[in-house]
Amino acid sequence: MVLSMKAPLLDLGEGDVLTLLDAQGVRIATRCGTVWVTQEGDRNDHIVGPGETLVVARDGRTVVQALQASRVDIRDAA
């Protein structure tokens, strides 16, 4: 996956969805709020709260949904 963002800090409103494709190794860090993350091929879903980080474990589709207004930092593995 190639991320091309000047500011990888994203504000998501409650219910907003961000879909990442082939994002293995990308770090999803929640600065405030709470997001739900599900990864294609992974039977477990993840809740990522303030100050927590999740590293995408595999390629495929990864869906990030804000359970409340959230600010997330999306960083490429590189």
Closest CA to 32 of 76, 73, 77, 3: 73
pTM reported for the whole predicted model: 0.87
Residue 2: predicted pLDDT = 57
Does a structural domain hold residue 4? no
List pLDDT tens digits, range 2-36: 555 554 889 999 999 999 999 999 999 999 999 99
Confirm whether 59 is domain-assigned.
yes
Q: Is residue 1 part of a domain?
A: no
Q: What is the CATH number of the domain that holds 16?
A: 2.60.120.10
Query: Is 56 inside a domain boundary?
Result: yes
pLDDT digits (tens, 9 = 90+) for 27-77: 999 999 999 999 999 999 999 999 999 999 999 999 999 999 999 999 886
How many structural domains compose the chain?
1
Q: Is 18 exposed, middle or buried (0-12, 13-18, 19+ CB in 10 A)?
A: middle
Could you tell me the residue range of the domain that residue 31 belongs to?
9-75
